[in-house]
Amino acid sequence: MTARPFPVAVLGLGLMGGGMARRLLAQGFPVTVWNRSPERARAPGLEGARVAVSPADAVRGAAVVIAMLATDDASRSVWLGPDGALEAMEPGAVAIESSTLTADWVRALAGEMAASGIGFLDAPVTGSRDQAGSGALKFLVGGDAEALARARPVLKALGTDVEHLGPIGSGATLKLINNFLCGVQVASLAEAVAMIERSGLDPVRSLALLGGGAPGSPLVRAVGQRMLDHTYTPHFVVPLMAKDLAYAANAFGAAGIDLVSARAARERFLTAAEAGFEEQDIASIVEPIRDIPSTKGEPG
**246 sits in which H/E element:** helix 238-254
Q: Provide the residue type at 155 as one letter.
A: L
AA identity, residue 120: F
Four-point Cα dihedral 226, 229, 231, 237, nearest 10: 30
DSSP for 163-226, written as a single string: EEEESTTHHHHHHHHHHHHHHHHHHHHHHHHHHHHHHT--HHHHHHHHHTSTT--HHHHHHHHH
Helix (H) or strand (E) holding 239: helix 238-254
Active site residue 175: yes
Q: Report how far Cα 248 is from the mean position of its chain's Cα atoms.
A: 14
Asked if 138 and 113 count as a contact pair (C-beta separation under 8 A), the reply is no
Determine how many CB atoms are found less than 10 A away from the CB of residue 14. Answer: 21
Dihedrals φ, ψ of 296, to 5°? -60, 125
138, 175, 243, 296: the active-site residue: 175
Q: Long-range contacts made by residues 192-201, C-beta under 8 angstroms, separation at least 24?
A: 193/224, 193/227, 193/228, 193/286, 194/286, 194/289, 194/290, 194/292, 197/290, 198/294, 198/296
DSSP structural state of residue 29: -
Q: What positions carry a catalytic annotation?
A: 175
